[in-house]
Structure 1
Amino acid sequence: MDVTELRVALFTGNYNYVRDGANQALNRLVGYLLRQGAAVRIYSPRTETPAFASVGKVVGVPAIPLPGRGEYRAPIMIPPRVKKDIAAFDPTIFHVASPEILGHRAVSLARAHGRPVVASVHTRFETYPRYYGLAFLEPLMLATLRRFYRRCDAIVAPSESMAQLLRDQRMSYDVGIWTRGVDVEIFNPDRRSMVWRRSIGIADDEVVIAFIGRLVMEKGLDVFSDAVDQLARRGVRHRVLVIGAGPAREWFERRLPDAVFVGFQKGEDLGRAAASADMLFNPSVTETFGNVTLEAMAVGLPVVAARATGSESLVIDGVTGRLIQPGGVAAFADALQHYCENADTRRAVGEDGRRASARYGWDRVNQELVDTYLRIARQRAMGGRAPRLGPNP
Structure 2
Amino acid sequence: MKVLDITEFFSPVGGGVRTYLEAKARWFSAHGAVEHVILVPGPEDRVTDWYGSRMYAVRGPAVPASPGYRFMIAGRKVREIIEQERPDVIELGSPFLAARHVRRAVRGMAPRPKLVAFYHCDAKKVYVDFGLRRLPAALRRIAGARFERYLQEVYGEMDLVLAASLGARESLERLGLQRAITVPLGVDLEIFRPERRDPRWKAEVGAVDGQPVLLYCGRLSADKGLEPVLAGLPELHRLTGAKLVLIGEGHLRRRLEALAKARPGMLAVLPFEPDRCRLARAYASADCYVAPFPMETFGLSAVEAMACGLPLIAVDRGSVAEFTRQAPWARQYRVGDSSDFVRAAREILSSDPNLLGRQAAAAARQSFSWRSTFEALYRTYLELVDGLYDAK
Give the corresponding residue for 1:319: 328
| Secondary structure in structure 2 of the residue aligned to 1:123 | coil
Alignment of 1:41-190 (within 5 A): 41-47=37-43, 54-55=50-51, 56-69=53-66, 71-79=68-76, 82-113=78-109, 114-129=112-127, 130=130, 133-134=133-134, 136=140, 137-170=143-176, 172-190=177-195
Q: Residue type of the partner of 1:267?
A: R
1:139 shift after superposition: 4.0
Give the corresponding residue for 1:347: 354
1:358 shift after superposition: 0.3
1:279 shift after superposition: 0.8
State how far apart, in whole Å, the 2-side matches of 1:371 and 1:318 are. Answer: 31
1:214 shift after superposition: 1.5
1:369 and 2:377 are equivalent in the alignment? yes
Give the corresponding residue for 1:12: 7
Q: Aligned residue pairs: how many?
A: 373
State how far apart, in whole Å, the 1-side matches of 2:170 and 2:304 are. Answer: 23
Alignment of 1:197-276 (within 5 A): 197-232=202-237, 235-255=239-259, 257=263, 258-265=266-273, 266-276=275-285
Give the corresponding residue for 1:292: 301
For normalisation by structure 1, the TM-score amounts to 0.86
State how far apart, in whole Å, the 1-side matches of 2:292 and 2:116 are. Answer: 30
Change (3 A) 1:67 1:147: farther
Is this contact kept in 1: 2:11–2:68, CA < 8 A? no
Is this contact kept in 1: 2:217–2:248, CA < 8 A? yes
Give the corresponding residue for 1:30: 25
For normalisation by structure 2, the TM-score amounts to 0.86
| Secondary structure in structure 2 of the residue aligned to 1:293 | helix
State how far apart, in whole Å, the 2-side matches of 1:165 and 1:307 are. Answer: 17
How big is each residue's C-alpha offset from its partner over 1:250-303, in whole Å with a ceiling of 9 and x where there is no partner?
Answer: 122345533022322231211111111111111111321111110111111110
Q: Residue type of the partner of 1:249?
A: R
State how far apart, in whole Å, the 2-side matches of 1:70 and 1:357 are. Answer: 29
Q: 2:364 aligns with which of 335, 357, 360?
A: 357
How big is each residue's C-alpha offset from its partner over 1:170-194, in whole Å with a ceiling of 9 and x where there is no partner?
Answer: 3x21111232221223222222222
Is this contact kept in 1: 2:165–2:184, CA < 8 A? yes
1:301 and 2:310 are equivalent in the alignment? yes
Q: Residue type of the partner of 1:243?
A: I
Give the corresponding residue for 1:389: none
1:25 shift after superposition: 0.6
State how far apart, in whole Å, the 1-side matches of 2:268 and 2:55 are. Answer: 37
State how far apart, in whole Å, the 2-side matches of 1:261 and 1:98 are. Answer: 29
State how far apart, in whole Å, the 2-side matches of 1:61 and 1:217 are. Answer: 28
| Secondary structure in structure 2 of the residue aligned to 1:280 | strand
State how far apart, in whole Å, the 2-side matches of 1:89 and 1:218 are. Answer: 36
Is this contact kept in 2: 1:62–1:78, CA < 8 A? no
Give the corresponding residue for 1:3: none
Is this contact kept in 2: 1:301–1:349, CA < 8 A? yes
State how far apart, in whole Å, the 2-side matches of 1:49 and 1:202 are. Answer: 44
State how far apart, in whole Å, the 1-side matches of 2:134 and 2:103 are. Answer: 28
State how far apart, in whole Å, the 2-side matches of 1:186 and 1:58 are. Answer: 24
How big is each residue's C-alpha offset from its partner over 1:136-159, in whole Å with a ceiling of 9 and x where there is no partner?
Answer: 244443332232111211111112
Runs of 4+ in 1 over 6 A off after TM superposition: 380-384
Is this contact kept in 2: 1:227–1:333, CA < 8 A? yes
Q: Residue type of the partner of 1:203?
A: V
1:354 shift after superposition: 0.7
Give the corresponding residue for 1:390: none
| Secondary structure in structure 2 of the residue aligned to 1:75 | coil
What 5-or-longer segments of structure 2 have no aligned partner? none
1:332 and 2:313 are equivalent in the alignment? no
Select between 23-32 and 215-224 the one with higher mean Cα deviation: 23-32
State how far apart, in whole Å, the 2-side matches of 1:277 and 1:98 are. Answer: 33
1:194 and 2:199 are equivalent in the alignment? yes
Q: Residue type of the partner of 1:167?
A: E
State how far apart, in whole Å, the 2-side matches of 1:268 and 1:197 are. Answer: 16
1:337 shift after superposition: 1.1
Is this contact kept in 2: 1:207–1:278, CA < 8 A? yes
| Secondary structure in structure 2 of the residue aligned to 1:74 | coil
| Secondary structure in structure 1 of the residue aligned to 2:386 | helix
Aligned-residue CA RMSD (Å): 2.7
Is this contact kept in 1: 2:232–2:338, CA < 8 A? yes
State how far apart, in whole Å, the 1-side matches of 2:389 and 2:166 are. Answer: 28
